[in-house]
Structure 1
Amino acid sequence: MSTRMSPSDSPVTAPHSPFPPSRPGYWVALIIGVILAVLGLSLVAFGASALAFQNYQRDGEYASTDLSTVQSTGHAIVGPPFNVNLSGMSGPGVPAVADLASFRIEATSMLPDQEVFIGIGESSRVSEYLAGVPHSEVRDVAYGGARQWPGSRAWNVDAVDRFPDGHATPATPADQDFWEVSASGSGTQEISWDLASGDWLLVIMNADATRPVWVEGSVGVRSDLAARDLGPLGTGLLLAGLVSLALGVLLLLIGATGLGRNLAAATAPPVRRGPYPARLDADLSQAPSRWLWLVKWLLAIPHFFVLALLGVSVLFTTIAAGVGILFTGRYPKSWFFFTVGVLRWSWRVGFYSYSALATDRYPPFTLASTDYPADFRVDYPERLSRGLVLVKWWLLAIPHYLIVGLFTGGTMVAWSYAAPAGMGRMSASVSVLGLLVLFIAVVLLVTGRHHRGMADFALGINRWVYRVNTYALLLRDEYPPLRLDQGAQEPAETQLADRRERST
């Protein structure tokens, strides 16, 4: 498909004064501020976690996971192997091993009238005991697809079947003499185990060694050392984190103020020409090369680092601006133009790389509008609603989040594969926009031309995303239109009027 330039392909930009150079000090303040703010948040999180963990340890209590159900069609459920090496953990001034950590495992059979067995034994002896016996091995414990601290209410236990076709039946587990600690009986069974050197395995079975095994259980941990020492440590980390966070936010806001003030001075008066006061424009007159898109992810890495830093800055400036809007009804102008500049930078990088794949011209390292073939602008509002600032970014924007999520959120694709250690699983996340850009890349590779129809669709998705960003970041009060405006340019008011007239 031809990509010859037409009048509608050329980006519409309002004339503006030359962008005054930013003082390097503002960038230095911004960078140091982000580093200190992130460090402060991390210290606050660690300090709060330490205090919470200490609180769990009071009165001899264990910090435990919530109950999780585990099933096996075999004769046993075997926990992941764990190695403990306590060499050098004895002597004057060294805490007792029992002070370091003690674990508690609880399990209740979900099968009627079925007694349950729990035991911890040396790996070699347990493996010999279960040789050729169908059982399940726990490979991972996760929450929502990611590892989490105890306390979550949706833990998932990932178990892999071993010897599913085996026919061996194990002897009654309670009769074995290799268990370091064990418990067997009806109802909820519990074992407590202090750390000890060696290779260990946790085993849960029916007390009579029958199959299947279906239990509900939890794991807890406590540390007398933590109960004594985590309080002062957590308090120190919390205070240090708060100081670092406060200083970092102050420097960050100073840097954003200086950079945004320069942008405000160089921005032309608004020219309203579309359905929304946030305008995303692009120039599709030049087709990208066939091959460069293969390495653009590598070439854009410097921009990704800068955008990560700027993204943290926008988070804090938006929070500070929200407080200002709540009391004054105005968005501080310097922070407004700084946030718009960050969105503009992000759009240029997306236009170059994997949000549109529409140009080979490398994006400039600047927050200001330039002659780059992609631009984003938002009209500055003189007044904003004080009440909307409390609800628009989360409650009112939910319909848009759902729609944008359909376009840009990943759809999980999972598959299994055979491996020597058992069955494995792999997964990938694919979005509509990602697939669309992939099709654009394939067409570009084969034909050397940019497919205009798919490019217009991709730009429409990006335009919707940036309108929602404008609303969610408190930059405007106007609700984004629930409409996919495709094409390189925003639809003009005359086009919208004609469209409304045809629809009626």
Structure 2
Amino acid sequence: MRKVVLGLIGGLLILSGAIAMFFGALLVGVFGGDGRIDTDPVRINSTATALSSDIARIDAGLPSGFNFAEVYISATSVSGKDVFVGVGPARDVLSYLSGVPYDVVTDVSGRPGDEDSINLRRVRGEGTPPAPSAEAFWVEQSSGSGRQDISWPIKSGKYLFVVMNADGSPNVDVQATVGISAPWLFSAGLGAVIAGLVLIILGAVSLFFGFRKGKNRPELVYATPGSSVANDETAVDRPSYVANPPVTPGEAATEPAQSPPREADESAP
């Protein structure tokens, strides 16, 4: 029964350790040492006034002050115009874009840099919005010439990401990259690998003690005076030794018929 229990425990420990090492190595391999993963640059060319993400509904129940992860967005104008990148509460962003023609990016697939790999959904309108950088509802924003980057710590709520020309004019032509950073994932992955290795070692030790063979102990043989075992002169060559039988109350103990063999005392004359 002991062997079965130790074998079962050892097997479960090794299996758990292997799973922990697999997922830990996966996190380390995907996010790397800086805990960041980015998409390939993708060009988006639209005749609309703005490019928007789908509404990001985040209900993570994160404790206040805990930086679970950060989303990175960078955009570089291909047309040479100044570009704006921002993220804000969905209600405020939709109110700002109300009556304005804009495209919602619904999917990014295919080859990097290929315009046909972008799926857009047009929201119709005819208005022209004011310059986005003048609005106060953005939680993160960046505008200007060249590459513009924002990083936004993920928070619970509904948010929209927007890329547009800095002056609010139509015909947005940019090359964009999106990424996510969670530095703690690398530490978590490394910890999972180490924990998995420890579990595997413990499982191997459990299997070793569960299935190892015990040492052969000499057999204790009881003999009575005059028995064949007591009179057998070759008994000393056996892996057992002869001893007196248990003494019951009222009986006198007898001398042992034969004692276990002992090494000769070399100091004797």
The 3-state SS of whatever aligns with 1:105 is: strand
Q: Partners in 1 of 2:122 and 2:151 — Cα distance? A: 27
Residue 159 of structure 1 and its aligned partner are, at CA, apart by 1.2
Residue among 53, 66, 71 paired with 1:97: 66
Aligned equivalent of 1:55 = 32
Per-residue deviation, residues 292-332 of structure 1 (Å, max 9, x unmatched): xxxxxxxxxxxxxxxxxxxxxxxxxxxxxxxxxxxxxxxxx
- Deviating beyond 4 angstroms after TM superposition, the runs of 4 or more aligned structure 1 residues are 42-45, 152-155, 234-241
Conserved? CA contact 1:107–1:215, under 8 Å:
yes
As a proportion of its length, which structure holds more helix?
1
1:159 aligns with 2:120: yes
Q: Partners in 1 of 2:199 and 2:47 — Cα distance? A: 51
Counterparts in 2 of 1:154 and 1:205: CA distance versus 1, 3 Å: closer
Unaligned runs of 5+ in 2: 1-17, 201-269
Residue among 126, 144, 148 paired with 2:93: 126
The 3-state SS of whatever aligns with 2:178 is: strand
The 3-state SS of whatever aligns with 1:203 is: strand
Counterparts in 2 of 1:236 and 1:216: CA distance versus 1, 3 Å: farther
Counterparts in 2 of 1:208 and 1:234: CA distance versus 1, 3 Å: farther
Aligned equivalent of 1:115 = 82
Residue among 124, 128, 137 paired with 2:104: 137
Residue 50 of structure 1 and its aligned partner are, at CA, apart by 0.8
Residue 158 of structure 1 and its aligned partner are, at CA, apart by 1.4
The 3-state SS of whatever aligns with 1:57 is: coil
Where relative contact order (Cα < 8 A, 6+ residues apart) is larger, the structure is 2
Residue 142 of structure 1 and its aligned partner are, at CA, apart by 2.9
Q: CA RMSD in A?
A: 3.0
Residue among 220, 224, 228 paired with 2:187: 228
Aligned AA (2:73): I
Residue 226 of structure 1 and its aligned partner are, at CA, apart by 1.1
Conserved? CA contact 1:46–1:237, under 8 Å:
no
Residue 125 of structure 1 and its aligned partner are, at CA, apart by 0.7
Conserved? CA contact 2:20–2:193, under 8 Å:
no
Conserved? CA contact 2:92–2:137, under 8 Å:
yes
Counterparts in 2 of 1:161 and 1:63: CA distance versus 1, 3 Å: same
Conserved? CA contact 1:97–1:194, under 8 Å:
no
Residue 216 of structure 1 and its aligned partner are, at CA, apart by 0.3
Residue among 192, 198, 205 paired with 2:164: 205
Conserved? CA contact 1:119–1:202, under 8 Å:
yes
Aligned equivalent of 1:186 = 145
Per-residue deviation, residues 374-404 of structure 1 (Å, max 9, x unmatched): xxxxxxxxxxxxxxxxxxxxxxxxxxxxxxx
Q: Partners in 2 of 1:220 and 1:167 — Cα distance? A: 32
Aligned AA (1:228): S
Counterparts in 2 of 1:137 and 1:190: CA distance versus 1, 3 Å: same
Identical columns (%) = 30
Conserved? CA contact 2:107–2:118, under 8 Å:
yes
Counterparts in 2 of 1:186 and 1:88: CA distance versus 1, 3 Å: closer
Counterparts in 2 of 1:234 and 1:104: CA distance versus 1, 3 Å: farther
Counterparts in 2 of 1:170 and 1:154: CA distance versus 1, 3 Å: closer
Q: Partners in 1 of 2:198 and 2:46 — Cα distance? A: 47
Aligned equivalent of 2:230 = none
Q: Partners in 1 of 2:57 and 2:191 — Cα distance? A: 30
Listed as ranges, the matches of 1:275-354 within 5 Å are none
Q: Partners in 2 of 1:81 and 1:48 — Cα distance? A: 32
Q: Partners in 2 of 1:104 and 1:220 — Cα distance? A: 5
Aligned AA (2:157): G
Per-residue deviation, residues 407-442 of structure 1 (Å, max 9, x unmatched): xxxxxxxxxxxxxxxxxxxxxxxxxxxxxxxxxxxx
Unaligned runs of 5+ in 1: 1-39, 91-95, 145-151, 242-504
The 3-state SS of whatever aligns with 1:52 is: helix
Per-residue deviation, residues 165-201 of structure 1 (Å, max 9, x unmatched): x211111101111101100000000011101121000
Matched residue count:
183
Q: Partners in 2 of 1:218 and 1:238 — Cα distance? A: 37
Q: Partners in 2 of 1:174 and 1:216 — Cα distance? A: 20
Counterparts in 2 of 1:168 and 1:228: CA distance versus 1, 3 Å: same
Conserved? CA contact 1:51–1:235, under 8 Å:
no
Q: Partners in 1 of 2:152 and 2:183 — Cα distance? A: 14
Conserved? CA contact 1:80–1:138, under 8 Å:
yes
